[in-house]
Structure 1
Amino acid sequence: MMNYWGKAQRDVMVDGPFHHLVFHSLDVAAVTDRMLRQMPWISISLLRLLGLPEGERETIIRTIVFLAAIHDLGKFANGFQQMRRDVWERFAPETERSTHWEYGGRLHHGPLGAALLDKGIALSWYQGQGADRLAAQKAVMALRTWIYAATGHHGTPPDTTKARQSLRSCFSNRNIADAESFVAWARAALGPEKMPVLPEKAARRTSMMLAGLISVADWIGSNRDWFDYEPGAIDPAAYWERALQQADIAVSAAKVVPRRPVTEPSFAHLYPEITDPSPMQVAVDGMTFDGQCLVLIEEMTGGGKTEAANLVAAKLMASGAAHGLYLALPTTATADAMAVREVEMYRRFFQEDGASFAVLHGNGAKKQAELTDSHGSTCAEWMTEDRRRKTVAEVCVGTIDQALLAALPVKFASVRLFGLMGKVFVVDEAHSYDGYTQEILIGTIRLLASAGASVVLVSATLSKAVKRSLSAAFCEGSGFPLGDASVLEDDCYPLITVLDRNGLQKPVATAPTAHAPRPKSVRMIRNVKAAEVEVLQAARAGKCVVWSRNTVDDANEAARRLREVHGHADVTVYHACFPEFRRKALQEQLLMRFGKTSKGAERAGGIVVSTQILESSFDVDFDLVVADLKPVDSVTQTAGRGCRHPRDLDGDPLPRDGRSADAREPHEIVVVAPDPFEVRNESWYSGLFPGGAWVYRNTGVLWRTAKTLQEVGKIEYPHDLRPLIEAVYGDDETPEPLKDASLDAEGRDRAERSIALPNLLDPAKGYEPTIAWGSDERVPTRLGVSIEIVFVKDDGTGAVKPLAGADWSSGRMRLSSRRITGTVPHGLTEEVVEEIKRWAGFGEIVRVVFDPLSTTWTGSLLAGERSLSFSVNDFYGLEWR
């Protein structure tokens, strides 16, 4: 069994260094052993889910370590061994070297190993313990998903259909005999005294976690910094002892074992710089959380709900109910901003330094590097090589999408689940997702709850219907009773609701924050030209104004008219369709000019035309807010960007002490909307906003928003938020001309939710290839939203360079996939494309050309069978030609 290689240096194919298969197998088993023993909550969770007593813990640990040792059993096949002929020919007899052996595709070493165990090896474990054949078959059937978890360590469960039929074309008799010898040795040396007979349903539910654990152990055990190649023929038992010692070093260096949390976290400890905590923060400071739970935090923007959620997480960690945190945010921009804001605070979760902190999103590597430069080492190097590994870090801040992938059949979903299962999963802006993504969030909460994770949902505008569905998902996953469902109907606001092993607890109502925005009157105007007049009049009077539009095209058109038709030069456009380097520069400019500490003189006369990305990205403050009609929860969020911080009549900031009143008048939001009391036909909304009608399809919701806002005429924070939400979403009143469109929209929402359902992983089925597993792109977290493209530029010599200096990734941008079917990377060599993909995170590659006369970049993308031309410039971003 020592005549096989398991790891070899890829760039040296002749007489290169290699690592014996047995030794690599023991490396991974040793890491698994050390992780299980240094992270006892993993085995404790498994015992709980399996319904086994504490006395079975050592049996379960040794079973998992044994399975980890045979994770690469398929590499005994000549089909695999022949990939390094220089090593293979040292050991294989001539008769085997002259034979063709199959390998690759569905005959990868994962499925081959699983098929070999299925062939009868696993059966012998139980028959050797005295079980008859039928009992042994049942025991193997129960253990099968655990076997798949070990052999499917490359990210997907092994499909053994072809492998079972092709064993003889991949393995020689010598291969099979040597594989059986190694399994027998590992079973005796590492396995339990008796292989356990697991409850099949429970084993399935735990198999995804096990797959994640062994995948992580395989990554660590394959790292030559910790486990260098050993070509010598050392006795396996002696090597095992050496591997255990090395695993201690590796597990410590890999930062996978959580640091000890502080034992009595308080708000003052986490946020010493905040001397006047909000009522929400004070309320959480006085609460205790006993064991796994769901916490709903409902508070308006600016009320300190994110800090309160962090404190909940710290308290759960202190109680032993969790060992880390994943803070999920709706956008890359919000994730980056939160990471910068809170990186130092998260170190206060732990008693000692060195906790790992990871930023997770499509371009998280760049932000991770920036934080490392500014704050020192934040994450173990091996984690930064792949964003899927980063979920293992103790504290993760990222987009919600990276977490939702744990519940979808994508490669290494098991690693994401393993990383999240011991964490508090905090979802910010939990209300802000469409039906498809909301359904995946429900599935993720169900899956994480089944793994023992706690969940904190944070929102300013969470409808009662959404609260009910999210709570039901948590109960289904955790097995907890819902209890008194009327708790979810409580109209108090702000509000904290807790659901634990005893069901829903009495909710905790808090006083509104002293920093709540002043009441805002709502003024309705009827067309876009009237909005232009409002914006220009305010700006010419020295105010700063934001106009929130519903599409990029609408934002660009409004900005162009304000500049070119009305002659107002001080206009800034901000939306998602800028390359990343330009969007980041715009963010910095907007924060500098309109942020919390900005001065009146620099703010005066400024106009920002934006899309919704502005209200969900960063803290800006305008004297007047104008908004195109959209659903009421979005309107209230947008309104919060007006008169957000106290200022004097000149627009200079006042102390935020709860005593300084904002002197600006009037406090209002101007909403551009058709008259809700004059609905003549189905184009009531689309006639005014044809682009917006693609974004917001449910005209019934839009009509109820317009009607409610016109009737109430004001938004008083926070008291009006709950009634406004329920008036729009808790009712179904719709004028007759809009009913068909509203019913169609509701049907599409149900259809989108139904599209999500087959994609969701079912914990009850376990880690099995019963559904089609694919890439992150093939199984999306958001339905038909966008594709990512990467711009490159000609440098004048025929070569190409990144659009933004030396950084490929900063030239990235997302576009609506509704229009785009492909890209046109004319003139790019395959080598250049591969280099860009490697640096930019596998985005589509688009070549652009600079036009010095117009200072724009031009290029083309495919839409069906025709080419669409576009331009990109610093002012408008991307525009179609």
Structure 2
Amino acid sequence: KRYTIRHDSLGYFCWNKHVRKKFVARFSVEMIAKEERQLEFWLSMWAKWSTGHHGMPPEEECLELFNYFRQEDLDTVDEFISQLISLFKLETSCGAFDELPNKVHLRQLSWFMAGLITLCDWIGSSADFFPLNSSEIPLDEYWKLTCKQADVAVNTVGIIPANVATSNSLLTLFPQYVSTATPLQSYCDRIEIPDAPQLWILEDVTGAGKTEAALTLAGRMMSKCLGQGCFIALPSMATSNAMYDRMGKVYSKLFKPGEKPSLLLAHGSRHLSEKFQKSFLDLDTEKLTDNGEKKLSSAVQCSRWLADSSKKALLADVGVGTVDQVLLGILPARHQSLRLLGLKNKILIVDEVHSYDPYMNRLLENCLEFHAAAGGSAILLSATLSQEMRERLCNAYRNGLGCNSLEPLCSNQYPLVTMIPAEMRAIEDEVETRSSVKRSVAVEVIDQIGDVYTLIREETAKGRCICWIRNTVHDVRNGYSDLLAEGICKTDGLMMFHSRFALQDRLLIEEQVVQRFGSSSTVKERNGQVLIASQVVEQSLDLDFDIMISDLAPIDLLIQRAGRLQRHERKESRDAPTLYLYGPTPNQEPKKDWYESVFPKACYVYPDISNLWRTQQLLLQKGCISMPEDARCLIEGVYGEEAIEVPEALRFSEEDYWGKEMSDRSMASFNGLILEKGFVRESSTHWDEETRIPTRLGDVQINFYLARIVNGKLEPFYKGGKFAWDQSKLKIREGLLKTLDLTQNAKKILENFRNETTFFHKSDLIVPVNKVADKWVARGYDKHGNEMVVEYDCRQGLTVERYQQDEE
């Protein structure tokens, strides 16, 4: 019969209404009632994960059987079941169902089994391995044939883990660092590692070699059979790309000589990474013969098959990607069970833990709890982690281990290594830091914008290179325009860098920024150069400025920004490093609009004004940032229990932000799966094909594609190359531009184009622009119906602003 519900849910419906009772009755003749109920529960879970092979648990609707199945269909099902029982000799297998896992273990196991079934379904659907065969064949012969084909398929796609090296260490992984190892690296190389699941938190300053320390630790854990691989989760695509490049030089050393482990990059724009593309596209491929007996090169197919979907990324021996790839495993997203299966038996390494918001942190806690319950180990890295966050992450992992008592952590030292073992007390060890990264940066507060301009004028005249980090794109543009208008900088001595550039321009600007301000930049390239930028320069780029100016921002971000100030030793002499902090006038009794009056846009980016006030007060008191000595007191002085008391006028901000933080954490709990329920529909109210549960909160961003109409055809703004549309893309806030004001001809061209291609999501904006003077322009309307003007140029990026009619 024709059916209106998906065949996976229909399969479970057939099992539940027609097969289940017959099957249970057949195998429970000698069972007592309790054993029979246990068997029925086990089979019910088995049926759900088996019929959830399309990425979601089956629906459990109450339907009329004969509305979907004819009697002859049901007879065929019965015959097939009988043949399966005979094929696998279930009735003669002694105690086939005697030792079933308990319900708690079975529910946990169901997530991995659902992932395994999905994996088998994907491999089994490949015509390369299992060619279509329309001829009738007995089931036992078919089983023997497909077992041979399956053996070829499994070994070809690369899901069999590579053999781990018997002894990993700093010497085997990073021999070039052995003689100059940092204290943290030496600690991770020698500390005794228990034989049970464990969580490590490594806290040290930027430049202390945390990545190498974590990989050394992970390699040693893998050699003790605590993991078959690892996945490194990072906060952004840029940091993921940088880590992927670094891992390419070392990951194979984690495994035995002669092994061919896989390394995958996982994020939404990984196809734009040339190195990732070359990892599998440059290799030769072969096709299987019709009977599936001819093997492909495993290295080639491993990369190709695993690389064709980010959902498979965690199945690779070593993966690098955004933390979102891990968090999707504990959200009701399609095929999330495949991600959990990939994470099982892997060391999870999460970098920059301090950079995640309350919503993401709650999701990460859920992930750590489930990973611990599944016997997994994890390593977390941070330069500026608060004590409260450290405690929460440790407690989440301890909950997963089933610890009855959660003893509080007690050390407030820094740098610090924290270890949560399975059956012992927490270990908190203070470590030294590398002497070369110990330093003190003076802090000078500036409360007048004119003084900032004077500073830039004076320092550029001395040949210094300067970076001014602003908190919004709007402020970046204003600063850029003012510096040009006041004659402080010339066009060839001033650069602007923020997130509102098309990818091609952003990559070009990033390359120019690194050339002018990177570790290899020359005195001539740096002379009198000024970069005004948003937060895009805080992470992943190795930049070194003579002078650093920053708008007032949270303390952890200021510590990050100060790390870009005189980062490397240079031959030319430089004054002692000073961080110039621009913001509102320091005031012990500020007004409610203390911050907003100076930064009317940035107050929405950093809404907790109380913490900004604390940050300024702490830095005024200390007069400098000395690392590592000040790290703990600065972070706890703003975020900890002993934080400075804020004035009455700013308490509203503290209370509002606390309420939002609790709301965001509650939203994460609401959105996340109830993992203890197992792979069933009741594990979430959000199992829906159309529902997209976010891994991050905040304004929804949509893709914005710049386009041109040339000779009656729609083309990407930047032509040429395989990824021209990607190169013409950027992100904007959803609703900022809802509809376009186009001519009838342009509307028809755009409509025809969208009907002819499946590349774009329905929410994507494709915006044809026209050249007007020195800018590219379009018009449209926002979600409120306000007329908007779109302007783009390669030096200043994209603006989308309300149309202002000229006054006569």
Q: Same fold (TM over 0.5)?
A: yes
Amino acid across the alignment from 2:521: S
Cα pair 1:700 1:732 within 8 Å, conserved: no
Partner of 1:748: 660
Partner of 1:304: 209
Separation in 2, partners of 1:514, 1:836? 57
Give CA-to-partner distance per residue, 1:558-592, whole Å, 9 cap, x none: 11211233351212111222222222222222122
Separation in 1, partners of 2:108, 2:8? 21
Cα pair 1:111 1:151 within 8 Å, conserved: yes
Structure 1 stretch displaced more, 719-728 or 670-679: 670-679
Would you say 1:324 and 2:229 are equivalent positions? yes
Would you say 1:402 and 2:319 are equivalent positions? no
Separation in 1, partners of 2:523, 2:130? 61
Q: Give the drift of 1:834.
A: 6.2
Q: 1:504 to 1:676 in 2, by over 3 A?
A: farther
Give CA-to-partner distance per residue, 1:447-506, whole Å, 9 cap, x none: 222222211110000000000111111111222466652xx3312221111111124443
Separation in 1, partners of 2:158, 2:692? 31
Would you say 1:681 and 2:606 are equivalent positions? no
Cα pair 2:445 2:582 within 8 Å, conserved: yes
Give CA-to-partner distance per residue, 1:604-628, whole Å, 9 cap, x none: 1111111122111311111111111
SS at match of 1:814: strand
Partner of 1:74: none
Cα pair 1:146 1:203 within 8 Å, conserved: no
Q: Give the drift of 1:240.
A: 1.0
Runs (5+) with no aligned partner, structure 2? 284-298, 802-808
Select the residue among 163, 169, 173 that pairs with 1:270: 173
Q: Give the drift of 1:420.
A: 1.2
Would you say 1:632 and 2:558 are equivalent positions? no
Amino acid across the alignment from 1:512: T
SS at match of 1:715: strand
Q: Give the drift of 1:880.
A: 2.2
Would you say 1:372 and 2:272 are equivalent positions? no
Partner of 2:733: 816
Cα pair 1:411 1:776 within 8 Å, conserved: no
Partner of 1:704: 614
Separation in 2, partners of 1:716, 1:834? 59
CA RMSD of aligned residues (A): 2.4
Separation in 2, partners of 1:622, 1:393? 39
Select the residue among 76, 85, 88 that pairs with 1:187: 85
Separation in 2, partners of 1:692, 1:191? 69
Q: Give the drift of 1:875.
A: 1.5
Partner of 1:51: none
Select the residue among 701, 715, 725 that pairs with 1:787: 701
Would you say 1:414 and 2:322 are equivalent positions? no
Which structure 2 residues correspond to residues 704-743 of structure 1 after superposition, within 5 A? 704-730=614-640, 731=643, 733-743=645-655
Q: 1:835 to 1:672 in 2, by over 3 A?
A: farther
Structure 1 stretch displaced more, 805-814 or 598-607: 805-814
Select the residue among 754, 776, 781 that pairs with 1:833: 754
Separation in 2, partners of 1:824, 1:166? 51
Amino acid across the alignment from 2:466: V
Structure 1 stretch displaced more, 848-857 or 686-695: 848-857
Q: Give the drift of 1:824.
A: 7.8
Q: 1:260 to 1:749 in 2, by over 3 A?
A: same
Cα pair 1:112 1:167 within 8 Å, conserved: no
Q: 1:279 to 1:134 in 2, by over 3 A?
A: closer
SS at match of 1:380: helix
Select the residue among 46, 64, 68 that pairs with 1:146: 46
Partner of 2:252: 347
Partner of 2:267: 361
Cα pair 1:291 1:320 within 8 Å, conserved: no
Select the residue among 427, 437, 440 that pairs with 2:360: 437
SS at match of 1:646: coil
Would you say 1:801 and 2:718 are equivalent positions? no
Structure 1 stretch displaced more, 134-143 or 336-345: 134-143
Separation in 2, partners of 1:374, 1:530? 54
Q: 1:777 to 1:668 in 2, by over 3 A?
A: farther
Partner of 2:294: none
Cα pair 2:737 2:780 within 8 Å, conserved: no
Q: 1:848 to 1:276 in 2, by over 3 A?
A: farther
Separation in 2, partners of 1:209, 1:172? 34
SS at match of 1:171: coil
Separation in 1, partners of 2:405, 2:515? 47
Q: 1:830 to 1:224 in 2, by over 3 A?
A: farther
Number of residues paired by the alignment? 761
Cα pair 2:280 2:303 within 8 Å, conserved: no
Partner of 2:11: 113
Would you say 1:246 and 2:153 are equivalent positions? no
Partner of 2:55: 155
Which structure 2 residues correspond to residues 152-551 of structure 1 after superposition, within 5 A? 152-161=52-61, 164-190=62-88, 193=93, 194-195=96-97, 197-274=100-177, 275-289=179-193, 290-351=195-256, 352-367=258-273, 369-372=276-279, 380-480=303-403, 484-485=407-408, 488-516=409-437, 518-551=439-472
Would you say 1:562 and 2:479 are equivalent positions? no
SS at match of 2:55: coil
Q: Give the drift of 1:857.
A: 5.2
Separation in 2, partners of 1:435, 1:276? 37
Structure 1 stretch displaced more, 489-498 or 194-203: 194-203
Would you say 1:552 and 2:473 are equivalent positions? yes
Q: Give the drift of 1:174.
A: 1.0
Runs (5+) with no aligned partner, structure 1? 1-77, 79-100, 650-662
Partner of 1:98: none
* TM-score, length of structure 1 as denominator length: 0.82
Cα pair 1:329 1:429 within 8 Å, conserved: yes
Q: 1:498 to 1:359 in 2, by over 3 A?
A: same
Partner of 1:136: 36
Q: Give the drift of 1:852.
A: 5.8
Amino acid across the alignment from 2:261: A
SS at match of 2:791: strand
Cα pair 2:709 2:768 within 8 Å, conserved: no
Cα pair 2:170 2:216 within 8 Å, conserved: yes
Cα pair 2:740 2:779 within 8 Å, conserved: no
Amino acid across the alignment from 1:350: F
Cα pair 1:860 1:869 within 8 Å, conserved: yes
Q: Give the drift of 1:818.
A: 7.1
Q: Give the drift of 1:844.
A: 0.8
Which structure 2 residues correspond to residues 15-94 of structure 1 after superposition, within 5 A? 78=1
Separation in 1, partners of 2:282, 2:634? 43
Separation in 2, partners of 1:375, 1:718? 46
SS at match of 1:846: strand
SS at match of 1:112: helix
Q: Give the drift of 1:688.
A: 0.9
Q: 1:577 to 1:739 in 2, by over 3 A?
A: same
SS at match of 2:219: helix
Cα pair 2:779 2:787 within 8 Å, conserved: no
Separation in 2, partners of 1:341, 1:856? 38
Partner of 2:783: 863
Separation in 2, partners of 1:759, 1:572? 42
Structure 1 stretch displaced more, 574-583 or 734-743: 574-583
Cα pair 2:739 2:780 within 8 Å, conserved: no
Structure 1 stretch displaced more, 176-185 or 455-464: 176-185
Cα pair 1:482 1:504 within 8 Å, conserved: no
Cα pair 1:302 1:516 within 8 Å, conserved: yes
Q: Percent identity?
A: 28
Cα pair 2:420 2:427 within 8 Å, conserved: no
Q: 1:775 to 1:325 in 2, by over 3 A?
A: farther
Separation in 2, partners of 1:788, 1:433? 21
Cα pair 1:522 1:668 within 8 Å, conserved: yes
Separation in 1, partners of 2:448, 2:424? 50
Separation in 2, partners of 1:625, 1:504? 43
Amino acid across the alignment from 2:161: P
Amino acid across the alignment from 2:57: P
